[in-house]
Amino acid sequence: MTKTSMADQAYAQLKRDIVKTTLRPGTMISDSAIAEEYEMSRTPVREAINSLRREGLVVVMPRRGTFVKPIDFSEIQDLYALRKMVEPEAAVLASERASSAELEDLAELSELSTDPSVEKHVLNERNGQLHVRIAELSGVPVLAKTVRSIHEEIERCLNLRKELGRPYKAVNHGRLVDAIESHDPGVIRDTALQGIERARSHMMTVLTSHSGSASALYQE
């Protein structure tokens, strides 16, 4: 296996551990410890850490070390504000451009995102996949990339909520897919906005209620 592919493997695994909160917000990252855990040399792990630092999932604090980025309250608010700007329009475009078969697949993904038989972190991952897929169906690659980036951070917050004993249950997905299938722009926008606001309100309620007892996890 080449050095590049090892770096890619380290990047994918480390990012997944951060997003799943196996490595919780505020956790110090040691390249040697990660390399030992992943059974690889330190060089690809360092490359992975640098890539995640550029993405903002890892932060370097002078004279202290390298850490998983804490949850930033103001950033989370901004992410939901950004969702309100881009996701309703992505859904409208998806309704105009997706084929019947693609909309059927979207409905199946919606059902999987609320399947009570799987673990919560899997549902959290599927939650993001659904919204990213809608953006992909819009036919605008930069829009899909933006939505993917937003939901990686939101997935991390959802997984933290699960650890704090307040898992999130998506209830709007079926309504959103039904709205997209209606091809009515007004209905689509209203449904998307209602779901985003509900998710934002629940997220902030849970995170703020735990911020005092787990301050290392948060940045205000």
Domain 73-209, architecture per CATH: Up-down Bundle (1.20)
Report pLDDT for 166: 57
Tokens coding 106: 């979207």
pLDDT digits (tens, 9 = 90+) for 6-23: 999 999 999 999 999 999
Report pLDDT for 2: 47
pLDDT digits (tens, 9 = 90+) for 95-110: 999 999 999 999 999 9
Report pLDDT for 192: 97
Q: Which residues of the chain have pLDDT under 70?
A: 1-4, 162-171, 210-220
What is the distance between the alpha carbons of residues 27 and 124, in angstroms, rounded to a whole number? 21
Report pLDDT for 118: 87
Roughly how many angstroms between the first and final C-alpha of the chain, as a whole number?
Answer: 42
Domain 7-68, architecture per CATH: Orthogonal Bundle (1.10)
Torsions phi, psi for 128 (to 5 deg): -65, -40
CA 214, chain centre distance (Å): 21
Domain ranges of the chain: 7-68, 73-209
Note whether 176 and 91 are within 8 A (CB): yes
Query: Which are the contacts of 106, defined by CB distance < 8 A and separation ≥ 6?
Result: 94, 98, 130, 133, 134, 137, 177, 180
